[in-house]
Structures are given as structure tokens and as C-alpha cells.
């Protein structure tokens, strides 16, 4: 199908939820993608931080195909080896005690928020159900996670929302104000993605950790976007010197297949019992096999390389004309610019570079396997567009 036909059918048959760029990506290799008309692009978006080994990675593909040759889905009424292998790996690498698998970031957060309410209910009874989230956060599109998303623009049309969710600034006194005396959990993204790629201040996160522990309030780190090697460590919270009570992750975890994971650390590990929560597709064996491949390859050496690539990109970007600030952490890069990010993204696309926007910033989240040649090619396009 050529692009005109694809666009025509999309306009006719798909729900109108997405404002799309005028491109249909059909294939590629690593961070070099190709569209339906044969045009090539350097990929600084990775399908929104999902394709962490880029397109068509041989070892990842082999792991997926091997599992497809066995069985594509098993019900959670039965045991499944890919699930236990992945869960063991995640626990060993993070110190978490238990994992619940779902299919997306929103579901991973939904699980975390439900678990926090249950944890508190079992210990203190009813009346301690409040969730505090940060202004400018993004936690998903289900009603609970949408409520927990601290951006008014997402809150049109869909009310009434889930009760007992409050918003605070990244400041401990404002957290205390929002929390009152009935809060069971605070949810944060160490690096806020959708709202502009902003890393939270380290001192705030550490103070918050101390306050949460002192008040038996669970600290949930939403690492859906910033997790899985994206920032140069396996999870971003490691760079904050804290251990959360619950970590949620998704996007890059399976390198391009749908998965979500909710990691319970010591305090929260017994929150759920049989029947409390579930998912038909959660822990799908193909997704889990893909994630085992991903996590096993995010070694210390690999993560060091990611840090090196991030430093390289950041050093170059800082000196580009029209760049006011380079934000975020590691390979999760925000660019504050003189120009309008939407226009910059459209011009980059035209010249063969895929970038994302996040509010008033450009967002760069390339595959972690991007080569120096691919980085340089992408940077030269961006430089041209910005100057
Ligand atoms: C993308 C994202 C989500 C939602 O994930 P979905 O897979 O789209 O449900 C939640 N939290 C953060 C931080 C995200 O970046």
C-alpha cells in the first residue's frame, strides 16, 4: 500500500485519537528506518523510548522467534517459564521481591496505585486512600492513572475522576500539604517525560524518601519511560540514591513488544493476595522472552556505553545555535529552544530525522544501540534545522 492509501484508510476507519506525522514507517535496521515510499530516517524517537535496540535487532528477534515457535500465550491459570525467568532477573538486578506483569505502562501504574490502597487498607483500615502525584506528571490513560496525571489538559471531558488524588509541586512542604493525614502513596517520575523531560532535584527525592518511610507512605517510582537503561543506569532511581517501595516500568522493557511490570520491594511485597488483581495477557510469554533478552543485555558495560553516547549527544547539542538548555538524564534528552518544537520536529522529519516533542521541548530518546554514524547524521540534520 502506498502512503496516500494508508492515510486515506486511517482517516476513514481509525478513531481520531492521534495527530500523526505524514509518514508510515515500514522497516529498518537499528536507528535507521525506512517509510512506505522508501525514504530513510535517523530515529531519535525509538517509538517513544520503546525500541531500545532499534529495529530488526538479530539477538532480540531470535529470542522472540524462539518463543513463538513454542507457544504464543498461556493463561495465568498456569505457570510459565518466561515469566519466572524475567521476574527473577528483575528482582536480582533491583532488590525487588515480587513482580506483577501487565501489558502497558498505564496498567503497571494502575496496579501500583491499587496495591498501595490495599497495603494501607490492610494495615490501617479504610480512610487512608489518598494518592499524591506531582504537577506536570504523566502516569497513563486509564481513569485512575489519568487522575494521577498532574496536567489539567488531560482532565477535560472525562470526569468524575477517582477520588482522593492530590497534586503537589516537587517540594517536600507542598507534598505534606497535599498529603494531609490520609495518604497511602506518593507517585513520582524521577525524570518526567511527557511534560518536558525534566529530572527531579536529587535533594527533593531523597527528602521525600525519608518522609515516606517515616509516615509509612509508599513511594512509587514510575519508570515507564526513564527505566530500562534509558538514563544510563538500569533504573533512574539508582542515580537518586534511593530505593522505592514500588517501581513501575513498561516502554523499553521488552524492546518493542507490549509489556508492563510492577515491581514490589520489601514493604509492599505482600500487598496483593490471590484474586486481588489480574490480567489476561499480562506476562505474555513472547513479551517476557523479549524482555529477558533486553534485561540480560543491559549489562554494566552496555550501560557505560549508553552513558558515553548520552554525554556525546549532550555536548554537541549544547553548542547548537538556538538551543537554550539541554535537560533530562542520560539518553532521555530534552531540548529547550528558541524555535517552536512542533515546527522543528516537522522540519526534521522532512529532512530525514525522527524526533519527539514534549510540551515546549524537543524530546530525544534514540535506541540505546544507536551508532556514532547514526548519531552524527541525526545531529547534522538537527543542527541545520535549528540554525
Ligand atoms: C508512556 C507513559 C505511561 C503510559 O504508558 P502506556 O504504555 O502508554 O500505558 C505512564 N507513565 C509514564 C512515565 C510514561 O512515559
Q: Are residues 264 and 329 in the same domain?
A: no
**CATH code: domain of residue 345:** 3.90.1150.10
Is 85 a member of any domain? Answer: yes
d(CA 121, CA 133): 19
The answer to whether residues 190 and 121 touch, using CB atoms and an 8 Å cutoff, is no
Please give the pLDDT value at position 320. 97
Give Cβ neighbours of residue 249 (< 8 Å, ≥ 6 apart).
105, 108, 223, 224, 227, 228, 235, 260, 261, 263
Tell me: do 192 and 248 sit in the same domain: yes
pLDDT in the model for residue 336: 98
CA 110 to ligand 1 centroid distance, Å: 11
Residue 77 lies in a domain: yes
- The answer to whether 384 touches 323, Cβ cutoff 8 Å, is no
* Backbone φ, ψ for residue 378 (5° rounding): -65, -45
pLDDT tens profile 58-74? 999 999 999 999 999 99
CA of 320 to the centre of ligand 1 (A): 30
Distance 365 CA to ligand 1 centre (A): 14
Residue 147 is part of a domain; what is its CATH number? Answer: 3.40.640.10
13: buried, middle or exposed (CB in 10 Å: 19+, 13-18, 0-12)? exposed
133, β-bridge pairs? 167, 187
C-alpha of residue 318 to centroid of ligand 1, in Å: 28
Whether 319 and 375 map to the same domain: the answer is yes
Ligand 1 atom 10, closest CA: 139
Ligand 1 atom having least distance to the Cα of 193: 15
Q: Give the closest residue (by CA) to ligand 1 atom 5.
A: 105
The 3 state secondary structure assigned to the chain is: CCHHHHHHHHHHHCCCCCCCCCCCEEEEEECEEEECCCCEEEECCHHHHCCCCCECCHHHHHHHHHHHCCCCCCCCCCCCHHHHHHHHHHHHHHCCCEEEEECCHHHHHHHHHHHHHHHHHHHHCCCCCEEEEEECCCCCCCHHHHHHCECHHHHCCCCCCCCCEEEECCCHHHHHHHHCCCEEEEEECCEECCCCCEECCHHHHHHHHHHHHHCCCEEEEECCCCCCCCCCCCCHHHHHCCCCCEEEECCCCCCCCCCEEEEECHHHCCCCCCCCCCCCCCCCHHHHHHHHHHHHHCCHHHHHHHHHHHHHHHHHHHCCCCEEEEEEECCEEEEEECCCHHHHHHHHHHHCEECEEECCEEEECCCCCCCHHHHHHHHHHHHHHHC
Question: Would you say residue 62 lies in a domain?
Answer: no
301 CA to centre of ligand 1 in angstroms: 27
The reply to whether 375 falls in a domain is yes
Across the chain, which has 387 residues, the per-10-residue mean pLDDT values are 97 97 98 98 98 98 98 98 98 98 98 98 97 98 98 93 98 98 98 97 98 98 98 98 98 98 98 97 98 98 98 98 97 97 98 97 98 98 97
- Say what the pLDDT of residue 277 is: 97
Q: How far is CA 376 from CA 105, 224, 230, in A?
A: 31, 28, 19
Q: What is the mean pLDDT of the chain?
A: 98
CA 88 to chain centre: 21
Q: What CA–CA distance (Å, rounded) separates 217 from 131?
A: 9
CA-nearest residue for atom 11, ligand 1, is: 139
- Say if residue 66 is preceded by a cis peptide, omega within 30 of 0: no
pTM over 0.75, yes/no: yes
- Closest among 172, 254, 156, 158 to 205, alpha carbons compared: 172
How far does the centroid of ligand 1 lie from the alpha carbon of residue 145, in Å? Answer: 9
Atom of ligand 1 nearest to the CA of 225: 15
In a domain, 64, yes or no: no
Looking at the structure, do residues 108 and 27 belong to the same domain, yes or no? no
φ, ψ of residue 212 in degrees (nearest 5): -60, -45
The pLDDT tens digits of the residues spanning 7-20 come to: 999 999 999 999 99
User: Which of 105, 150, 222, 328 has most ligand 1 atoms within 8 Å of CB, for mutation?
Assistant: 105
The CB density around residue 37, as the number of other CB atoms within 10 Å, is 11
- Of 259, 281, 297, the last residue of a domain is 297
State whether 143 and 197 are in the same domain.
Answer: yes
Q: How far apart are CA 203 and CA 336, in angstroms?
A: 24
* Shared-domain flag, residues 306 and 265: no
Domain interval for residue 273: 71-297
Q: What is the pLDDT of residue 215?
A: 98
Q: Which atom of ligand 1 is nearest to the CA of 223?
A: 13
Please tell me the distance from the alpha carbon of residue 247 to that of residue 332, in angstroms, as a whole number: 18
Same domain, 196 and 329: no
| Inside any domain, residue 61 | no
Q: Are residues 195 and 317 located together in one domain of the fold?
A: no
**Is residue 96 one of the residues assigned to a domain?**
yes
Cα-to-centroid distance, 80 and ligand 1 (Å) = 26
Do both 199 and 129 map to the same domain?
yes
The domain total for the chain is: 2
Please, are residues 362 and 337 in contact by the beta-carbon 8 Å criterion? yes
pLDDT tens by residue, 123-150: 999 999 999 999 999 999 999 999 999 9
**285 and 219 share one domain:** yes
Grid cell for residue 233: 543506569
Residue 371 and residue 264 share a domain:
no
Ligand 1: centre distance to CA 330 (Å): 19
What is the rounded distance in angstroms from the CA atom of residue 4 to the CA atom of residue 10?
Answer: 10
Q: Provide the pLDDT for residue 327.
A: 98
pLDDT of 332 reads: 98
Ligand 1 pocket test, pick from 47, 106, 187 with the greatest ligand atom count within 8 Å of Cβ, gives: 106
Q: Which grid cell is 329? A: 538524564
Do 123 and 139 have their domain in common? yes
Please report the pLDDT score of residue 32 as a whole number. 98
Residue ending a domain, among 275, 297, 319, is: 297
Assess if residue 246 is contained within a domain.
yes
* Residue 94, all three cell numbers: 533491583
Compute the distance from residue 189 Cα to the ligand 1 centre, in Å. Answer: 11
Query: Ligand 1 pocket by C-beta < 6 Å: which residues?
Result: 104-106, 109, 138-140, 189, 193-194, 222, 224-225, 250-251
Amino acid at each position: 500500500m502506498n502512503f496516500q492509501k494508508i492515510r486515506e484508510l486511517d482517516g476513514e476507519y481509525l478513531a481520531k485519537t492521534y495527530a500523526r506525522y505524514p509518514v508510515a514507517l515500514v522497516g529498518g535496521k537499528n536507528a535507521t528506518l525506512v517509510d512506505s515510499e522508501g525514504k530513510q530516517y535517523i530515529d531519535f524517537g525509538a517509538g517513544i523510548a520503546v525500541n531500545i535496540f532499534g529495529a530488526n535487532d538479530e539477538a532480540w528477534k531470535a529470542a522472540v522467534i524462539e518463543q513463538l515457535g513454542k507457544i504464543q500465550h498461556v493463561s495465568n491459570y498456569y505457570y510459565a517459564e518466561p515469566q519466572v525467568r524475567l521476574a527473577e532477573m528483575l528482582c536480582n538486578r533491583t532488590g525487588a521481591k515480587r513482580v506483577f506483569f501487565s501489558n502497558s505502562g498505564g496498567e503497571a501504574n494502575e496496579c501500583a496505585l491499587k496495591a498501595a490502597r490495599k497495603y494501607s487498607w490492610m494495615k490501617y483500615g479504610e480512610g487512608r486512600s489518598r494518592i499524591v502525584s506531582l504537577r506536570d506528571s504523566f502516569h497513563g490513560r486509564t481513569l485512575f492513572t489519568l487522575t494521577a496525571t498532574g496536567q489539567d489538559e488531560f482532565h477535560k471531558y472525562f470526569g468524575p475522576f477517582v477520588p482522593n488524588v492530590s497534586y503537589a509541586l516537587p517540594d517536600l512542604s507542598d507534598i505534606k500539604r497535599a498529603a494531609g493525614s490520609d495518604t497511602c502513596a506518593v507517585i513520582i517520575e524521577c525524570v518526567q517525560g511527557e511534560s518536558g523531560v525534566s529530572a527531579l532535584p536529587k535533594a527533593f527525592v531523597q527528602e521525600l524518601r525519608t518522609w515516606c518511610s517515616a509516615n509509612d507512605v509508599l513511594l512509587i517510582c514510575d519508570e515507564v519511560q526513564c527505566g530500562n537503561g534509558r538514563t544510563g543506569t538500569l533504573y533512574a532511581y539508582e542515580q537518586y540514591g534511593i530505593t522505592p517501595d514500588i517501581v513501575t516500568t513498561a516502554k523499553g522493557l521488552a524492546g518493542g513488544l507490549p509489556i508492563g511490570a510492577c515491581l514490589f520491594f520489601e514493604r509492599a511485597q505482600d500487598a496483593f493476595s490471590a484474586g486481588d488483581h489480574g490480567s489476561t495477557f499480562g506476562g505474555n510469554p513472547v513479551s517476557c522472552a523479549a524482555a529477558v533478552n533486553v534485561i540480560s543485555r543491559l549489562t554494566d558495560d552496555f550501560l557505560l556505553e549508553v552513558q558515553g553516547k548520552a554525554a556525546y549527544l549532550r555536548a554537541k547539542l549544547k553548542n547548537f545555535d538556538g538551543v537554550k538548555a539541554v535537560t533530562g538524564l542520560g539518553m532521555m534528552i530534552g531540548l529547550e529552544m528558541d524555535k517552536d518544537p512542533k515546527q522543528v520536529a516537522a522540519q526534521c522529519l522532512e529532512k530525514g530525522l525522527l524526533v519527539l516533542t514534549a510540551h515546549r521541548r524537543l524530546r530525544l530518546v534514540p535506541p540505546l544501540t544507536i551508532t556514532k554514524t547514526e548519531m552524527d547524521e541525526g545531529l547534522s540534520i538537527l543542527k541545520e534545522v535549528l540554525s
